[in-house]
Amino acid sequence: MKLWTNGVIYLPDGTKAHNIMTHDGLITGIDVTVDQSIEHMDLKGGYLYPGFTDAHLHLIGYGQYLSRIDISNMTKHEILQTIENDKRSVILLDGCTSMHNITKTDLIGVSSARFVLLRHTDFHSVTVNQQILDKLNLVNDTGILTEKEAQLAIAYFSKVSNDVIASYLERAIQMLHQFGITGGHSDDLFYFNGYKDTLEVFIEVLKRLKFRTHLLVHHNVLDDYIKDGGPTYIHPFLELGSVKVFFDGTLSSKTALMKNGYKDTDSKGLYVTEDFIEIVKKVRRLGLTLAVHVIGDLGLEKLLEVLEKYPPSKNQKDRLIHTPWISEKGMNMLKNKPITIDAQPQFLYSDLPSAFDILNQKPDYIFPWKTLAKQGIVVSFSSDAPVEIPNPLLGILYATNRRANDNKMYEQNESITRKEAIDHYTIDAIAQNLKKNRGSIKIGNIADFTVFKHDLATVSDESLKSDLVLMTIIDETIVYERSA
């Protein structure tokens, strides 16, 4: 039994408590009379919130990203120099953008007989050299591959031992603990060493490191998942959830399905998964739910038409991942739909205003989290790490101030309050968890807490950019504590 004291504790109704008692991993008392025989845990004057959850990220992918060189802030010349100095036979670098303007021709002089793959920041495109094109039997003039071809190249060169995958996962979880994240919903089971091996890595690592892990089942490993026991799978720190499938692509790769299309091309985007409807039918036959990547406003309308035709069972909800751009029609179609949305507030900061440079027309709704909530739709916040840094304080900042990287405010009418933003990382972020005793400070809920140095309701915008995490507590255990 533990008594957490000397801090401010936020209860679901916004009122504050002085202490919390926990036992066997659960909250057993709030504002109890202090009994000296109980083990006292010092909150060091911090502000305690329910454990923060990241509703959509890629845990192993994030760990891999942390273990790699990030080229996003380098110049083209520096990137080519880095490749030339790297003596490995396979060179994988993260953070390439169209701004770098690197093609396979640029890579001729610096890569000789080696394989070079530069992953783009949206993870839907890669720039590769001729050696990789030859290896994969692809023909491409620029070496810039998108969607299916990009995934093929990434998958081919991402094969590493299970020990290496475990080290990626450990690194990711330790980093998330530092950001105050106690749980995450992750899409990892397809991209590395297959369903079984990857799942075993999770089970091994979660014995050593506490983290509430909810894994999406990529449609490419659905058969393995069913063979392995499917939805009956039970583990204290691990849940298996919806079937992940891509509907369209991304804006920066010009593959998101946009109603009014893109400048300099006739394309309105791409239906990324050709047999999408067949997958939906199969998922429904199995009684499962979907987790669908959808970015474009046209993509959302078309997706909702499919989901209307093939709805989930009663009491089930699908999850839509991203949906930053929504048309008036799409917004109306969303009303009363059995869905939740996994949104990324940091995308607002990163993707605006440059998105407007490539779009023919501004969509009706842009990152409309306030309107979505008004429609009664649960919005769960997330980072999509490694696409964004999984720091929820940045998400809270951008969802409330709605400032992008040009420091301008976008659609201020969609600005939400700090409390609403915190809810999107706590009580709303667990909407798709199978176990529901979490996300708020309540007797009977799990003892997962995030403790910040300051009150998130009143701290300045500027302070949200600094490291405010004092302590991260999972299952009654302090998994991270800021050094004095």
What is the binding site for Zn ion (CB under 5 A)?
Answer: 384
Tell me how many degrees the CA angle 349-352-354 measures, rounded to the nearest 5: 135
Q: Provide the minimum distance between the beta carbon of 293 and Zn ion in the complex, in angstroms, as a whole number.
A: 7
Residue whose CB is less far from Zn ion, 384 or 475: 384
Residue whose CB is less far from Zn ion, 384 or 448: 384
Q: How far apart are CA 92 and CA 115, in angstroms?
A: 8
Residue whose CB is less far from Zn ion, 220 or 400: 220
Q: Provide the minimum distance between the beta carbon of 28 and Zn ion in the complex, in angstroms, as a whole number.
A: 37
Residue whose CB is less far from Zn ion, 188 or 475: 188
Structure tokens at 115: 């394989």
Cβ–Cβ < 8 Å for 253, 146: yes
Classify the C-alpha dihedral 248-250-255-259 as positive or negative: positive
Residue whose CB is less far from Zn ion, 147 or 384: 384
Q: Provide the minimum distance between the beta carbon of 123 and Zn ion in the complex, in angstroms, as a whole number.
A: 7
Q: Provide the minimum distance between the beta carbon of 371 and Zn ion in the complex, in angstroms, as a whole number.
A: 23
Q: How far apart are CA 8 and CA 46, in angstroms?
A: 6
Q: Provide the minimum distance between the beta carbon of 187 and Zn ion in the complex, in angstroms, as a whole number.
A: 6
Q: Provide the minimum distance between the beta carbon of 387 and Zn ion in the complex, in angstroms, as a whole number.
A: 7
Residue whose CB is less far from Zn ion, 191 or 480: 191
Residue whose CB is less far from Zn ion, 384 or 476: 384
Q: Provide the minimum distance between the beta carbon of 190 and Zn ion in the complex, in angstroms, as a whole number.
A: 12
Angle between helices 162-178 and 59-66 (to 10 degrees): 90
DSSP H or E stretch at residue 330 = helix 328-334
Q: In what order do the strands lie in the sheet with 125-128?
A: 90-96, 115-120, 125-128, 144-146
Structure tokens at 437: 């005793």
Q: Which residue is nearest to Zn ion (CB)?
A: 384
Q: How far apart are CA 368 and CA 388, in angstroms?
A: 19
Residue whose CB is less far from Zn ion, 115 or 246: 246
Q: Provide the minimum distance between the beta carbon of 231 and Zn ion in the complex, in angstroms, as a whole number.
A: 22
Residue type, 147: E
Structure tokens at 441: 């400070």
Structure tokens at 201: 């890595």
Classify the C-alpha dihedral 274-278-279-281 as positive or negative: positive
Helix (H, G, I), strand (E, B) or coil at 336: coil
Q: How far apart are CA 8 and CA 17, in angstroms?
A: 6
Q: Provide the minimum distance between the beta carbon of 288 and Zn ion in the complex, in angstroms, as a whole number.
A: 19
Residue whose CB is less far from Zn ion, 41 or 222: 222
State the chain's maximal CA–CA distance in angstroms: 73
DSSP H or E stretch at residue 12 = none
Q: How far apart are CA 308 and CA 205, in angstroms?
A: 39
